[in-house]
């Protein structure tokens, strides 16, 4: 059970999280926000569930959430950014998730490019941004899945995934933590874009580290330098910096 009033009493935002729809169970909160667009919802509208049954992950993967334990939500953004820069929104969402968790629990989450939430080298959360252009306007649905109070993770991911509770060794209340995430998001969203890049780089877990980088069919060995002002990864390969807009960073 999620108590939406507990989220809202902890909000300092003007836009994000003021209108919330809660489902005890649903297929995908991202899909729910898209469907709600027919009802002319405002920017900041949020859907949260306690049990997501067909969660969508990045690159066509499934996303597993555990009823009663995971934090699973999506919200609507009507960005004032050109289409080619909307990828930056998922980067600042990652920063906001890390900042909200840190404020709430003192756990120091990091980011793996582009926006995996990492805790002590393991994935603790992920972000799926979906965008559509409808009647000339851009809409983005930002979906976040976080492992919060799981004591065990499915065997197929348990070696590379963790939960906040497993690391903190205590139960965390999801609602106020979500409010802190939304507060952090709105602050960043309203700040200058140069701050977004600076904030993301400062949370990156592999900044200036040697990484394996999977790009198309290629696996490249290089040093992850930082992200550029478009959010692209700058990787130094044999002394030369190359910018990538997609790919997978493998931590060593
Ligand atoms: C990833 O693969 O790392 C991203 C996972 C994103 C999952 C979240 S859970 C809430 C929202 N609804 C979905 O169907 N997916 C996103």
Q: Which of 57-61, 64-68, 119-123 has the highest mean pLDDT?
A: 119-123
CA-to-CA distance for 223 and 142, rounded, in angstroms? 29
Which atom of ligand 1 is least distant from the CA of 70? 9
Peptide bond connecting 114 to the previous residue in cis, omega within 30 degrees of 0: yes
pTM score, whole prediction: 0.97
What's the pLDDT tens digit per position in 6-18?
999 999 999 999 9
Mean pLDDT of 167-177: 98
Provide the percentage of residues in the chain whose pLDDT is more than 90: 96
CA-to-CA distance for 4 and 21, rounded, in angstroms? 8
CA 56–ligand 1 middle distance (angstroms): 5
**Residue 33 in contact with ligand 1 by CB distance below 6 A:** no
**Residue 61 in contact with ligand 1 by CB distance below 6 A:** yes
What's the pLDDT tens digit per position in 227-248?
999 999 999 999 999 999 999 9
Please say if the pLDDT value at position 152 is more than 80: yes
| pLDDT of 171 | 98
DSSP-derived pairing of the beta strands 137-146 and 209-215: unpaired
> From the centroid of its chain, how far is CA 137?
23
CA-nearest residue, atom 16 of ligand 1: 143
CA 57–ligand 1 middle distance (angstroms): 5
**Residue 75 in contact with ligand 1 by CB distance below 6 A:** no
| pLDDT of 178 | 98
CA 236–ligand 1 middle distance (angstroms): 30
CA-to-CA distance for 65 and 53, rounded, in angstroms? 8
| pLDDT of 183 | 98
CA-nearest residue, atom 7 of ligand 1: 145
CA 237–ligand 1 middle distance (angstroms): 32
DSSP 7-32: HHTT---SSTTSSEEEESSBS-HHHH
| pLDDT of 242 | 97
What's the pLDDT tens digit per position in 95-116?
999 999 999 999 999 999 999 9
Which sign does the torsion angle of CA 153, 64, 52, 11 carry?
A: positive
Confidence band for 161, pLDDT divided at 50, 70 and 90: very high
**Residue 44 in contact with ligand 1 by CB distance below 6 A:** no
What's the pLDDT tens digit per position in 182-239?
999 999 999 999 999 999 999 999 999 999 999 999 999 999 999 999 999 999 999 9
**Residue 57 in contact with ligand 1 by CB distance below 6 A:** yes
CA 240–ligand 1 middle distance (angstroms): 34
CA 238–ligand 1 middle distance (angstroms): 35
> Which segments within 116-239 are labelled E, that is strand?
116-119, 122-134, 137-146, 209-215, 218-227, 233-237
**Residue 143 in contact with ligand 1 by CB distance below 6 A:** yes
CA 207–ligand 1 middle distance (angstroms): 25
Q: Which of 122, 126, 248 has most ligand 1 atoms within 8 Å of its beta carbon, as the pocket-test mutant?
A: 126
| pLDDT of 40 | 86
| pLDDT of 251 | 84
Computed over every residue of the chain, the mean pLDDT equals 96
């Amino acid at each position: 059970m999620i108590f939406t009033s507990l989220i809202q009493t902890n909000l300092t935002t003007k836009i994000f999280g003021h209108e919330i729809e809660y489902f005890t169970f649903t297929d995908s909160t991202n899909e729910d926000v898209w469907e709600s667009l027919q009802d002319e919802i405002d920017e900041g509208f949020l859907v949260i569930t306690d049990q997501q049954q067909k969660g969508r992950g990045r690159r066509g993967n499934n996303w597993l959430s555990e009823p009663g334990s995971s934090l699973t939500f999506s919200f609507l953004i009507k960005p004032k950014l050109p289409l080619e820069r909307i990828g930056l929104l998922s980067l600042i969402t990652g920063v906001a998730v890390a900042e909200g968790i840190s404020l709430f629990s003192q756990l120091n989450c990091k980011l793996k490019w582009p926006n995996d939430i990492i805790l002590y080298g393991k994935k603790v959360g992920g972000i799926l941004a979906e965008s559509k252009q409808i009647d000339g306007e851009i809409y983005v649905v930002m979906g976040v899945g976080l492992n919060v109070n799981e004591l065990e993770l499915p065997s197929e991911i348990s070696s590379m995934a963790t939960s906040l509770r497993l690391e903190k060794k205590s139960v965390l209340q999801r609602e106020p933590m979500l409010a802190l995430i939304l507060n952090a998001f709105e602050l960043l969203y309203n700040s200058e874009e140069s701050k977004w890049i600076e904030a993301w780089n400062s949370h990156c877990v592999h900044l200036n580290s040697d990484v394996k980088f999977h790009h198309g069919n290629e696996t490249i060995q290089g040093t992850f330098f930082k992200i550029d002002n478009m959010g692209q990864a700058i990787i130094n390969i044999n002394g030369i910096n190359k910018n990538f807009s997609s790919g997978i960073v493998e931590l060593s």
